[in-house]
Structure formats: structure tokens, C-alpha cells
Structure 1
Amino acid sequence: MPHILKNKNLEILIDLPFENYCLARFDWTGKIVSLKFQNVRLAGIERTDVANENILGKGFYNEFGIDTALGFEEAAIGGWFHKIGVGVCKKVDSKYNFMKHYEIKPANFQTIAEDNRIVITCKSESVNGYAYSLRKKIELQESSFGIAYFLENTGERDIRTDEYVHNFLALNHEPIGSDYVLNFPFALKPELFVEKVNPESKVIIGDNSIKFNGVPEKEFFFSNLTGGENVDVGWKLSHLSTKIGIRETTSFQSSKVNVWGWRHVISPELFFKIFLKPGKTIEWSRNYSMYRLL
């Protein structure tokens, strides 16, 4: 059964590793499916036009290595490569595609669940010299929750990857539009964005904010929001009519921040870059706080 973290302000629903979504893209350690703040839903879903929700991203799902998976280049066609937090996947062609439904041999998962926290550990086998141990702790606070990560390189080769939370957000399930404001603690540099997908011109880029002049009926996407500069990262999403906000802060700086969305959801993405020598460990964290607007 899913694990629920709950207090007077928050309710967080977390699917365990082998529950519901079990594909190759998103990390299985602590799949945060839904979030309620004072009984108002804040999390959404990747798409609304697919009947089987268990193949879609939801809530606060995270991913390691969206551009290339660990050991993919070294694996032969028909061989295996790692997807951190999932297991090993069978390579079927020469180009990695995060949307592909790869055959999976799951990693070894262990779960310790308590009233106010859950800790899930994922230990991999060794494939082509790569191996790791991942531990994720999701902990409930009064009006916030934290995600703490601990990654150990237990293999013989360097680990080079990144991690981000997709943040499928829909405050009170309201469609994306003029009531939403997304703020960043750094200056936006649209002239340095790598990708700018805004087909209806409904997304308005400000000095450090993103607003909307209507409901986007087509997907939008912006990448490299910092212009490649390594800065303190975070975001704050407000919904003006329901007077609710949610904020993400992190323990790290980043040079990679993207935003994706559609009419039903908006996703600010903060990437954590990982370089880990054999035998070494790394820790990082994210904190989400919810509040009422004044």
C-alpha cells in the first residue's frame, strides 16, 4: 500500500518502489504522487489524454540522467545499463531515449516507513564497472517537507549524471493561466535560453518571473534559464485567486534550470550535477514549503 505522511496542514501520498509506476524513466525510491495543503491539491499529472496513469509522471517524481543513463555508452546492444533508482535496463539501439519503455531488471529496494518520514534505499548490481547505493529520505514538517539524498559510488568507474524533480504542479487543479506567477531568485536571461517553445505566445518572460496572458493549449518549454551561470536556485509558484503558494529551495547551486508545462500543469526543474569517484559519496537536499498568500 502507498505510504501517507500527514499532519494538520499537509498530506503526502507516496507510492512504494513496486507500486503503480514501474517504468524506466523516473526514480522508484519514494514516488510522491500527490500533495495536499490544507486540503487543497497542489500536484498534477504529466498528461490528461492517456487512460493508463501508471505510465505517466506525477506529483514530485524525480529522474537521474534524462540525457543519458549511467553506463549506456559502454553497454553493447542487447546488454544492460543503469537507470539510477530503478535498476538495469536492456539496450536496444545506439541512442538513449528517456521516454522509451526499456526492459528492466529492478535494483534491490528496502523501505523504512514511520509516521513523519520514509527512507528508501536502492542498491544496484555491478554492470560494466558501474554500481551505486542510493538512499532517499522524505520527511514531513509543519507546512513543508524535505527530500534528502545520499548517493555512494560502489563501483569501479566514475559516476557522471544529474538529478532533478519534475514538479508536476497544478494548484487547486486550476488550469495554467493569468492567476499563476512563477518567480525565481535569479535573473532570467531569455537571450541565452537554449530552447524557447512558446507557440501561442501565452508565456510572458519577465526579469525574474514567468506569467501567462491566457491558458496555453499547447506545450511550452524553456531551457537554460540561468544562461549557463552557476547560481543559487529555487522557485516560488503562486496562484492569485486561491491565494496559495509553494516554494522549492535547495542545498546546491546549479547552472541548469528548465520550465515545461501545458494547460493543466507547470513544471520548474532544478538540476543537480553529480560527479562521483569510486568509493566516494555525495549528499544534497530539496525542501518544499507551502503557504497562504497575504
Structure 2
Amino acid sequence: MHEDIVLRGGRLAVAIKHPAAVGGARFDRTGFVTEATLDGRHTFGAYEIPHVWDPSKGAGLCGEFGNQRMLGYDEAKPGEWFPKLGVGLLRRESDEGYRFMKAYEVRPYRVDVIREDESRVLFDAHPEPCLGFAARYRKRLAIEGNALRADYELTNVGERIIATNEYAHNFICIDGHTVGPDYSLVFRGECQPAFAVHVGDIRAEGGRLAWGSVPDRDFYGRMAPGGDGGALPDGWTLEHRPSGVRVSEACGFRTELIAVWGMAHNVSPEMFAPVQAAPGETATWSRTYTFEA
């Protein structure tokens, strides 16, 4: 049984699952944040299944690689392994296409957890070559006042180029308040392409999203670069307006896609980072979450 890793500093306390306590074939097992608590009273984390921790499901500020660009799956034959960054080697089961929610068999990467001090921890995932792909992946989480910074470093130690993406799913619920008209989500950046609502009662006005009602089903929408390939926003702020409690994410990368998913118990703003490294190269990117009341 592995206890949570708890970081403390300034106004913030952050609970992180040990990689060995995270399961499933989808989410990055390093730096899996389940809760952030501000000033000892304001909370921001939610579980994918309301109020239920399931090691194979999402929670809090968890991430995923290759949701849309999976490495090696198409060439692996049924019964063979393919790499899932942040997780391990997965076994392909059939001739059907890759499905990110499928419960593939997993052979996890070995991960060292290095506690640097009370406010910082480093996760070091060791490479395991597969289909010519191999990566040394490091992720450091550090509290700075009322902010949590995540720094990512992926070194390609394999024979083939790594070209994929990574995003933070961000299962967020502010102080347990139900999602609905009391919430607003604002994107930060000079360029504001149109936000396309695919499902649910989301109202998009420029760079601001609002909810016309409490969701009775999933909601989902996306923002992608326009035909000119222009820049996307590089951050967002989610606020519970009656209380003024809010959380923001600032991205240390050029965003390639933005999605927003959720239900009545959580909002998930998702900023996708391009990850590309030729053999011998290192890709780096970062995210900074600021919590305010």
C-alpha cells in the first residue's frame, strides 16, 4: 500500500498518488495530482466517477500522452506490445483501431520517486525499448506560494522520432460546487478562434464559456487553430463566481488544441502540448496552476 505524496508550501497543499497506486492503460502515472487545497479550506479536485477513487480512472490534475497520436499501435500485431508514454508497454488485443479508454494489459515503466524537499518531488520514468521507441521521462512538481508548477522533460533514447502530444485532463470542481451558471471559464491569449460546442449546454462568447443550466449529461467542445494556423490561447481561468474562488493554468508551450469536457461534478479544460524529439533530443514543456480566493 503506497501512501499519497503530499507537497506543502506557502498557502497550498497538494496530494499526489504514488505511481504504483495508479492503474489502467490511459493516464500518466507520474505526478497524478488528486487534490489541491488552498489556505486549508478551498478544494479543487474531482474524481472521474463522483466521490469514488478508481485507480484506472482520472482525477484531479492528471495527464495523458497520445490520446490522438499513439506511438507504434498501427504496426503492432495483435498480442504484441506498443508504448504508452507515462504508463508503460500496452498489449494490442485485436485488429480494431486504438481506443484510449480500452483496458489494455499493461507492463508499467519503472518509476523512481525522488522527494527533493517538502514542496518538490521528481518522478523519473525509465525507458523500455519497444518497436524502436524509448524515452527517459521526468516530471517535477513544485509548489511556489499559491501556485503548482509542473515541468516535463522527455529525452528520446530510442531509434525513431517521437511525435505525439500530451495534455492535462484537469478534473476540477471548486469547493464541491455543482457545475452550472455559477461557473465561468475564460481563455487567455490574444488570438481567440471560435469554440465549437459539440455536446451540452455550453455558451461560447469570444474567449469566455458559460453554462446555461446544470448539466444533465456530458458536455464537450473544442478550439483548434484557424485555417491560417494561428496561435491558440495559452491559458485559462475557471471561476466559481459567487465565491470568487478560481484556478488558472498557464502553459509553457505553444498550444495545438484545446478541449473542454465535463459533467455536473467537474469541468476539464484540456490544453494539448505538442511533443516531438528526434533520437538524442530532449523535449521540455511546463504548466503552472495558480489557485486564488
TM-score by length of 1: 0.92
Whole-angstrom CA distance in 2 between matches of 1:30 and 1:265 = 20
Cross-structure match for 1:235: 236
Matched ranges for 1:127-142 at <5 A: 127-142=130-145
Instruction: Output one character per residue of 1:186-238: Cα deviation in whole Å (capped at 9) or x when no partner.
Output: 45444x73x6112xxx3111111001121011111002354463334110011
Show CA shifts across 1:125-181 (max 9, x none). 111111001000000111001000000001001111100000111000101011111
CA contact (8 A) 2:86 2:125 kept: yes
Match of 1:150 among 149, 153, 164: 153
In 1, Cα distance between equivalents of 2:35 and 2:230: 32
1:69 positional shift: 2.4
For residues 19 and 138 of structure 2, what CA distance do their matches in structure 1 show? 13
Specify the code of the residue in structure 2 equivalent to 1:65: G
Q: Does 1:37 align with 2:38?
A: yes
Contact 1:188 1:209 in 2 (8 A): no
Which whole-Å CA distance do the structure 2 matches of 1:235 and 1:15 have between them? Answer: 25
Aligned in 2, Cα 1:177/1:197: closer, same or farther, shift over 3 Å?
same
Q: Is the 8 A contact 2:10 2:144 kept in 1?
A: no
Structure 1: runs of 5+ lacking an equivalent: none
Runs of 4 or more, structure 1, over 3 Å off, are: 186-190, 225-229
Partner of 1:205: 204
Q: Secondary structure at the match of 2:155?
A: strand
Q: Deviations over 1:28-53 (max 9, x none)?
A: 1111111111221111111329x662
Deviation at 1:116, TM superposition (A): 0.9
How many pairs align? 285
Give 1:54 deviation, angstroms: 2.3
Residue of structure 2 in register with 1:285 after alignment: 286
TM-score (norm 2): 0.93
Q: CA RMSD in A?
A: 1.6
Report the secondary structure of 2:20's partner residue. coil
State the distance in 2 between where 1:224 and 1:207 align: 11
Indicate the residue corresponding to 1:276 in structure 2: 277
- Residue of structure 1 in register with 2:13 after alignment: 11
In structure 1, C-alpha distance between the alignment counterparts of 2:73 and 2:212, rounded to whole Å: 42
Give me the whole-angstrom Cα distance separating, in 2, the residues matched to 1:257 and 1:98: 18
Q: Which moved more, 1:100-109 or 1:142-151?
A: 100-109
**Runs (5+) with no aligned partner, structure 2:** none
Equivalent-residue separation in structure 2 for 1:208 and 1:224 (angstroms): 10
Residue among 185, 189, 213 paired with 2:188: 185
Cα distance in 1 for partners of 2:168, 2:134 equals 22
Partner of 1:160: 163
State the distance in 1 between where 2:146 and 2:53 align: 32
In the aligned structure 1, how far is the partner of 2:5 from the partner of 2:73?
Answer: 33
Equivalent pairs: percent with the same residue?
30
Answer with 64-73 or 116-125: which moved more: 64-73
Name the CA distance, whole Å, in 2 between partners of 1:264 and 1:42. 11
